[in-house]
Copies of this chain bind each other. A is one copy, B any other.
Amino acid sequence: MESHQGKSEAIETLEKSSIDCQISSSSNGVSVSDGMNKEECRKKVVNVLERRFFCKLSFNIYGGVAGLYDYGPPGCAVKSNVLALWRRHFVLEENMMEVDCPCITPEVVLQASGHVDKFTDLMVKDEKAGTFHRADHLLKDFCTEKLKGQSLSVEKVQELKHVVAMLDDFSPEQLGSKIKEYGIVAPITKNPLSDPYPFNLMFQTSIGPSGMIPGYMRPETAQGIFVNFKDLYYYNGSKLPFAAAQIGQAFRNEISPRQGLLRVREFTLAEVEHFVDPEDKSHPKFRKVADLEFLMFPREEQNAVPVKEAVKLRLGDAVAKGIVNNETLGYFIGRVYLFLTRLGIDKERLRFRQHLENEMAHYAADCWDAEIECSYGWMECVGIADRSAYDLRAHSEKSGTPLVAHEKFSEPKEVEKLVITPVKKELGLAFKGDQKKIVEALEAMDEKEAMEVKAALELKGEVEFQVCTLGKAITIKSSMVLISKEIKKEHRRVFTPSVIEPSFGIGRIIYCLFEHSFYTRPSKAGDEVEQLNVFRFPPVVAPFKCTVFPLEQNPGKKAVAEQISESLTAAGISNIMDTTGASIGKRYARTDELGVPFAITVDTPPTVTIRERDSKKQVRVEVKKVAT
C-alpha cells in the first residue's frame, strides 16, 4: 500500500540511524539468535502477539477453533505491507500477470490435478476417545523422543534415524506395522490406535442447490492459473516465457493442527507460475542475481554420512555446477532470497534446501525450499519447484483442451518426421461430436508416443491403441489414423511448456519475521517491568510508520498532535495517536512493542521530538516539516 510507504525527510534522516542500529543490534538488546532459549523466546513473542492483538485464535469467545487465526490491527497492517512488497517485488518488477480466481473449485479440476486422489495424510483414530492423530507425526515424535535417550545401540540409532528419513515414503501398511512394532499409543489418553488410513485434507462442499455438484475449497491457488493458461498465453501475445501470479486464501483441513501459526487450516498463499520452453530455461536477468551468496543445502550435503551442514554458495556457481537445475529456477531462488531479507528475515537463519529424491514428485525436475529457522526449527516457508509439464498436461488430458505453446520458425525447417493423419471419416462415424477433440489429441502426440504406436501397430500387429482426452482413455482403431514417415516442411513447433513455481506461505513468513524481529532490552530503574519488548521491523513492513503523542494531556498539545497526524495521513504515512495520560516511558514501550519505527512527541511546539525505535536517537523537527 502506498499508505504505508510514504516517507518524510525528517524520517529519512532517522532511518539511517535505524539501519546502523539494526546492523549492530546485538550490542543493544538480546535477540533470539543471541542464545535466548527457544521455548522462552517463543513464549515471549506469542505473549506480545496476543496481548497487542497482532494475531490470536479465531472465535475465542466461543472457545476458538484449532488452526484458525485472526490478524488484529497491527498484524493485519504487517500482512498488508508484506503483500504490497510481494506485489511490487514480483508482479511489478518482473512484469507478471496477476489473476484472481475463486476459492470454491469444482471437483473435476482437482481430480485432474491429483488432489482428490492424493492430497491426503495418513490418520489414526483413538477409538475410545474419538480423536484423530497424524500417523507420521506420532511415529516421528516417538523416534525423536527415543533418540534423545542415552542407552541406545548403534543399530537402534540408525534404525530410528532411517525411519524418520523415510516417513514420507511409507505406505499406510508400513506406517501401521511400525506403530504396532513400537507399541505407540494415543498421546495423553494412552488408548490403542486404529490402523492408519488416508484422510483427504480438502474442505468439501457442494455447489448449487441440488447438492449433487461436489466442490472443494482450493488447497492452493496454482490450479486457477493452470486452467487459465490458454487465455494468459494469448494475452501475452502468444509468447513464452511469461509468469502469472496469484495471491489468495487456501484451505487444508489439518488432522490435528499444532505449531500455532505455522500449521493452520486457512492461510494466504502467494504463488507464481512461470511458463517456459522446456528446451530453453535460461533467464535474461540471471546475471543480476548470480553474485548473491547465501546458505544452500544441496542434496549431496543432506545425504552425506554424517549429514553435513548447509553451505554458503554463490548462486551463479550453484547453477554453473548443476547443483541448481537451471537458470530460471536459480533466478527465482535469488529473487526469493532478496524478498525475504528485504522483509527483515535474518539471512543467517535462512537457507535453501534441495528436496531429496524421495521428497520430490516423480515429474519434478528440481525443487528447493526456502527454510527459515525459528523456535520450531527449520520451517519450509517458500517452495520453488520446476514442475516440468505435469500440470498443463494433466489439465489438457482431462479437459480435452490442448494447453500448449507454439514456436514459429523464422524459416520453415525440413524435417523427417512421423506424420499423424487422422482418418476423419472413420473418426466421425465412431465419435461424432467428440471427433474434434480426438483429432486434436492425435495431432498433439509427441514423436516418442507416435513412434511407439507405429511400432505397436506395424511390428506387433496390434489393431488398436489409446489416447487420453476428454478425461479418459479413448480406444483408436488402426483404421482411424495413418502414421507415416515423411520429409516435411515445418513452420512451427508445438509443445507443452514447463512451469517453475515459487509458492509462498505468507502466514509462515510473517510468523518467522515476528520471531526474527523480536528482541528485549533492559528497562530503566523505576519501570514496572524488567525487560522491554521490541520488534525491529524495517519501516517497509512495520504496522505503522509513526506514533504521535502529546507530552502532556493539554488541549493545545493534543491539537498539535492531531494536526501532525492529519498531515502524515495526507502524505500517505500510516500513523497512530497515543493520547492516554501514560508516562512518556510507558508510551515508548508500547510503540516499541508494536514495532513502530518512529515516535513523534509533541513536547515544545513549534518543534517536536522524533525518536527512532532501535537506536533511541532523537532529533528535533519543526511541526510543519514533520510530514515533508
Chain A residues with CB under 8 Å of chain B are: 1-3, 5, 52-53, 56, 58-62, 65-66, 68-73, 75-77, 79-80, 84, 87-88, 91-93, 95, 97-106, 108-109, 123, 130, 132, 199, 203-210, 215, 217, 224, 227-228, 230-232, 235, 237, 244, 248-249, 251, 253, 255-256, 265-266, 395, 398-399, 401, 403, 569, 572, 574, 576-577, 580
Contact = CB atoms under 8 A, between A and B. Distances in A.
Given A103-B249, A104-B203, A230-B61, A576 B265 contact: no
A179 B69 CA distance: 46
Contact of A231 (B72, B398, B576): B72
17 contacts: A1-B2, A2-B88, A3-B92, A61-B227, A61-B230, A65-B106, A65-B207, A68-B104, A70-B101, A72-B228, A75-B100, A76-B99, A77-B98, A80-B98, A102-B265, A103-B251, A209-B253
Contacts of A569: 92-93, 95
Contacts of A102: 58, 68-70, 265-266
A199 B210 CA distance: 10
A229 to B, nearest CB: 9
A544 to B, nearest CB: 10
Given A65-B207, A70-B100, A231-B53, A59 B105 contact: yes
B95 A576 contact: yes
A244 B2 CA distance: 20
A127 to B, nearest CB: 12
A199 B209 contact: yes
B59 A71 contact: no
Nearest to A69: B102
Contact of A53 (B227, B235, B249): B235
Contacts of A399: 61-62
A203 B105 CA distance: 12
B106 A62 contact: yes
Given A92-B572, A217-B217, 15 more contacts: A1-B87, A3-B87, A52-B235, A53-B235, A59-B108, A61-B399, A62-B398, A62-B399, A73-B244, A76-B98, A102-B266, A104-B266, A199-B209, A205-B217, A207-B253
Contact of A104 (B80, B95, B98, B251): B251
A11 to B, nearest CB: 16
A73 B251 CA distance: 24
Nearest to A579: B237
Contacts of A266: 102-104
Closest 4 CB pairs of A and B: A2-B2, A73-B97, A71-B100, A61-B399
A79 to B, nearest CB: 6
Query: Which of A203, A204, A237 has its CB near the most chain B CB atoms (within 10 A)?
Result: A203
Nearest to A223: B59
B207 A205 contact: no
A186 to B, nearest CB: 14
Contacts of A248: 249
A217 to B, nearest CB: 7
Nearest to A106: B65
Nearest to A402: B61
In this complex, the member of A69, A104, A244 whose beta carbon has the largest number of chain B beta carbons within 10 angstroms is: A104
Contact of A97 (B72, B256, B265): B72
Nearest to A578: B237
Contact of A99 (B1, B72, B123, B235): B72
Contacts of A101: 58, 70-71
B208 A205 contact: no
Contacts of A572: 88, 92
User: Residue among A1, A75, A265, A569 with the most chain B CB within 10 A?
Assistant: A1
A265 B104 contact: yes
A352 to B, nearest CB: 26
Nearest to A56: B231
Q: Which of A62, A68, A403, A580 has the most CB of B within 10 A?
A: A62
A99 B53 CA distance: 10
Contacts of A256: 209
Contact of A80 (B87, B208, B230, B251): B87
A403 B62 CA distance: 13
Nearest to A5: B2
Nearest to A229: B61
A92 B577 CA distance: 12
